[in-house]
Amino acid sequence: MFLSDLKVGSTAKIKKINGEGAVKRRIMDMGITKGTEVFVRKVAPLGDPIELNIRGYELSIRKMDAVLIEVE
């Protein structure tokens, strides 16, 4: 399952970050790393962006980045 598949109000644990180079580095710099718990707070009406609570702060992430993040 991917981060983009989660519904509002659900919690998951980061399993793996797909992608390479700068894209993967940028995602990891935002605090999205393996083993971190993430809570889906809101999703915009058209599905992009997705607002998350992670590591005690709120983060908005594009759907094209969310499909690279595997969760369990």
Query: Residue 19: pLDDT band by 50, 70, 90 thresholds?
Result: confident
3-state secondary structure the chain: CEHHHCCCCCEEEEEEECCCHHHHHHHHHCCCCCCCEEEEEEECCCCCCEEEEECCEEEEECHHHHCCEEEC
Tell me, which fold does domain 3-71 have in CATH? Answer: SH3 type barrels. (2.30.30)
> pLDDT tens digits for 22-63?
999 999 998 899 999 999 999 998 888 999 999 999 999 999
Identify the pLDDT of residue 66: 92
Identify the pLDDT of residue 47: 81
